[in-house]
């Protein structure tokens, strides 16, 4: 007798449309509904043991996939710091412009890629916060919250110097534009970035 056949079974109740969808997936895989259901449960338990939900894992994967599609490249933070420290004031000005343009392009991309996630202002900010966290600038803390008619973005990463924080702020400035926000003030220090952006228009 196989180990699968010897396992005790329990009946799970689920919505009919979800069961039908799972059955279709199982058939496409050449598997069984029983095996697929157990796989889903096992992976859910695995995610919870890591302190995250299966939804968190899938959201992170979706963002990572979108980052790759958008041409985002993973660069070690130490390399970015070293490169920034070598820039002349004139070069730094040009690089800031490029970072802002990159942020703007990325903002346009994700408003299209994740349009269904931006049902309202709250959900849009939540999703934007997750996306920024996945860009991986080694932030110890990153929070986006409503403030009046605008939003406030706070980032903390003790190892990042002010020069690189300034570049990151220009990226964020460009990123927020497609969402209908314009940065009005910035506070930039070593390891700390505090940005306030005012609402300019309703993003369609």
Please give, one letter per residue, the 3-state secondary structure of 73-129: CCCCHHHHHHHHHCCCHHHHHHHHHHHHHHHHHHHHHHHHHCHHHCCCHHHHHHHHH
* Minimum mean pLDDT range among 65-79, 142-156, 165-179: 65-79
Q: pLDDT tens digits for 5-20?
A: 567 888 888 899 999 9
Residue 106 pLDDT: 85
The pairing of beta strand 181-189 with beta strand 150-156: unpaired
Q: Please determine, for residue 202, whether its predicted confidence score (pLDDT) is greater than 60.
A: no
Q: Would you give the distance in Å from CA 23 to the centre of its chain?
A: 31
Residue 21 pLDDT: 94
Q: pLDDT tens digits for 80-102?
A: 888 888 888 888 889 999 999 98
Q: pLDDT tens digits for 119-134?
A: 676 777 777 887 787 7
Mean per-residue pLDDT of the chain: 85
The C-alpha atoms of residue 40 and residue 43 are separated, in whole angstroms, by 5
């Amino acid at each position: 007798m196989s180990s699968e056949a010897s396992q005790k079974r329990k009946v799970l109740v689920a919505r009919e449309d979800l069961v039908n969808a799972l059955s279709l997936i199982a058939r496409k895989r050449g598997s069984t509904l029983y095996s697929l259901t157990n796989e889903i449960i096992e992976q859910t338990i695995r995610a919870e043991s890591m302190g995250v939900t299966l939804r968190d894992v899938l959201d992170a994967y979706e963002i990572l996939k979108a980052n790759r599609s958008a041409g985002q490249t993973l660069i070690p933070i130490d390399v970015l710091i070293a490169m920034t420290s070598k820039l002349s004031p004139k070069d730094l000005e040009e690089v800031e412009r490029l970072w802002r343009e990159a942020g703007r392009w990325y903002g346009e991309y994700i408003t299209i890629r994740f349009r269904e996630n931006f049902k309202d202002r709250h959900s849009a900010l939540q999703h934007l916060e997750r996306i920024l966290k996945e860009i991986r600038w080694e932030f110890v803390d990153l929070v986006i919250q409503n403030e009046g008619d605008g939003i406030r973005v706070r980032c903390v990463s003790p190892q990042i110097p002010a020069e690189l924080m300034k570049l990151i702020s220009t990226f964020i400035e460009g990123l927020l534009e497609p969402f209908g926000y314009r940065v009005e003030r910035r506070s930039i220090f070593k390891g700390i970035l505090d940005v306030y952006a005012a609402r300019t228009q309703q993003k369609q």
